[in-house]
């Protein structure tokens, strides 16, 4: 799948990750070929992997503070869901955060949870084939898996 095709599919989310919007995306994707579903999963994993960087992961959660008012750090899952929300916001936002880290910060909010986007490829594959897909992608999307993005780890 080309990046253009991936971003066109992501655009169907209208910048928001909800269970319903991701279900619609999975249904749209399931009407495509299995190689397209796999291609979507690969592009999605790569987009998340590229965002897996210290400069984003060390940003505090936007709407939380510790007991003494100190910034509250992102946890691994929260950072993954924030990266999903950035991807769901679309190509322009995704590209923009690389040039301005502050543009990533709002997506760390507890109100910005992109978790549902993680399940789209699996749901699309199951809808298309009737089978579960235990997939692996070239890039790992788990937080802190991009060693180049975390030089101080």
Domain ranges for the chain: 18-133
Neighbours of 66 (CB within 10 A): 10
Looking at residue 63, its pLDDT comes to 79
Q: pTM of the prediction?
A: 0.94
Looking at residue 70, its pLDDT comes to 83
What H or E segment, with its residue span, contains residue 147? none
Average pLDDT of adjacent 10-residue blocks, the chain of 153 residues: 98 94 97 97 98 95 82 92 97 97 93 92 96 90 93 84
């Amino acid at each position: 799948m080309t990046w253009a095709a991936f971003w066109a599919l992501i655009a169907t989310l209208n910048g928001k990750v909800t269970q319903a919007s991701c279900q619609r995306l999975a249904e749209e994707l399931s009407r495509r070929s299995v190689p397209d579903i796999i291609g979507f999963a690969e592009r999605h994993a790569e987009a998340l992997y590229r965002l897996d960087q210290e400069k984003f992961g060390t940003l505090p959660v936007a709407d939380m503070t510790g007991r003494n008012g100190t910034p509250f750090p992102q946890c691994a899952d929260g950072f993954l869901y924030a990266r999903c929300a950035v991807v769901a916001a679309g190509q322009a936002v995704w590209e923009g955060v690389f040039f301005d880290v502050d543009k990533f910060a709002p997506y760390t909010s507890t109100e910005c949870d992109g978790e549902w986007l993680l399940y789209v490829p699996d749901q699309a594959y199951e809808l298309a084939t009737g089978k579960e897909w235990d997939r692996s992608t070239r890039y790992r999307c788990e937080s802190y898996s991009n060693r180049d993005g975390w030089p101080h780890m």
